[in-house]
Chains A and B, each alone.
Chain A
Amino acid sequence: MSGSTGPDEGFERLLRGEAPKTPEEQALGLFLEDVRGAFPTEPSLQEGAQLAAIVQAAQLLADKGEPSVRSATEAGRRVRHASGRPKRRRVIVKLPLMRSLAAKVVAGLVVLMSMFGGLALAGALPGQGSDDDSTDVVEIQDVSDEAPETEALETEDADDQGEDADDQGENEDADDQGENEDQGEDADDQGENDDDQGENDDHGEDE
């Protein structure tokens, strides 16, 4: 800035307290005096309180052994705590969960999986319900087919052997064997029920 070298030199001279050399510098010098007069050097009204606070803070820091925890260039910045902020919280603040499309898709899948998983546990899904019902129907049909025969046996034995009638009711094969000619085959197939079958035979004898 060669054009401003002259005026800047005059300004520098005035700042150093030298006398102005040109009328222009003289006008500028008067303005500088006005500036200094408008904002005079006065002692602070709170000088005593401020000095007390300054000295107290300085002595506290000196007693603590750490007169400064920050460099002079960082003195105007916020105080950094010794332990720092929790890293986990900082990550959460900086990274929103639903920021990416992949995160949204994954979240949707998790919701769907949890929904269907809950329905499956409750047995409310269509496929699960039909299988169970068909099985139940078969069992009910078996019982309904045998119920009259059991009742018939019970009616026959009810007077003499109430306890045996109960045993027969629990053992389906024994009921069949009591009336059917296939008793021998059933007895071979089910050795465990031989004793019961014998008892049934006894029932027949009682009759």
Chain B
Amino acid sequence: MALGESFAGVLEAARVGAEWAWRALYADTAPGLLRYARASRAPDPEDVVGETFLRAVRGVGSFEGDERGFRAWLFVLARNRIMDEHRKLVRRRTEPVPVDVLAEIGPRADAETEALRALAEDHVRSVFDRLTPDQRDVLLLRILGGLTIDEVATVVGKRPGAIKALQARGLAAIRDKIDLGAVTL
């Protein structure tokens, strides 16, 4: 964790609206949230991160916990937001996207790097698509979010034993896919 022992002071400063404190919290947690939102197929991962922090601003006054608890709490907010986005997507199949937004979400790196990244993403998604939504969620939170079993249980709203079982079944399905040579990057 980047903040470490200074987290308590940062949190207190954030509660009174200190800009530097929110910048520190954002820099520490936003990249992980963005990875998780992208891997979870959120329609607008950037919006998920922004909304997550705005909800955190409203709720930080009553938050109690350490840095890991704060991180897990942010993932709870992000996951709720992603689920809301998926529900909206089901109700509204298409959503027009402005041209400038399309230009922003276009390739960031050079064409070769971007092509390799897209290829890797396709392969990873093909493996994760074999899993149930709960198994996929647990593994994404563990691999990309860096959360522990107990923290994932808090985020998903299940008991740690259930999270362990979901993780074990998910890993077994992934190993089958790996052994068949489906993931060869």
On A, residues with C-beta under 8 Å from B are: 1, 4, 7-8, 11, 15, 24, 27-28, 30-32, 34-47, 49-51, 53-55, 57-63, 66-72, 74-76
Contacts and interface: CB of A to CB of B under 8 A. Distances in A.
A49 B172 CA distance: 42
Contact of A72 (B54, B63, B127): B63
A72 B62 contact: yes
Contact of A63 (B17, B171, B178): B17
4 closest A-B pairs (Cβ-Cβ)? Answer: A68-B61, A62-B17, A75-B59, A67-B61
B58 A69 contact: yes
Contact of B143 (A7, A35, A44, A63): A35
Contacts of B168: 1, 4, 7-8
A24 B179 CA distance: 9
B155 to A, nearest CB: 11
B98 to A, nearest CB: 13
B2 interface: no
B112 to A, nearest CB: 14
Interface string B62-103: 111000000001001100110000000000000000000000
A24 B174 CA distance: 11
A45 B175 contact: no
Interface residues of B, number: 62
A40 B58 contact: no
B77 A76 contact: yes
A50 B14 contact: no
A42 B31 contact: yes
A74 B62 CA distance: 10
Mostly, the B contact residues are: helix
A50 B49 contact: yes
B23 A51 contact: yes
Interface of B: 14-19, 22-23, 26, 30-32, 34-35, 38-39, 46, 49-50, 53-64, 73, 76-77, 80-81, 104-105, 108, 117, 120-121, 123-125, 127, 142-144, 146, 164-165, 167-168, 171-172, 174-175, 178-179, 183, 185
14 contacts: A15-B142, A24-B175, A28-B175, A32-B143, A38-B117, A40-B117, A41-B34, A46-B46, A50-B26, A55-B23, A57-B54, A61-B58, A67-B15, A74-B59
Contacts of B174: 28, 31
Nearest to B80: A76
Contacts of B175: 7, 24, 27-28
A39, A45, A49 — which one has the most chain B CB atoms within 10 A of its CB? A39
Contacts of A72: 59-60, 62-64, 73
Nearest to B17: A62
B15 A62 contact: yes
A8 B15 contact: no
Contacts of A53: 50, 54
Contacts of A24: 175
Contacts of B76: 75-76
A50 B50 contact: yes
Contacts of B123: 34, 38
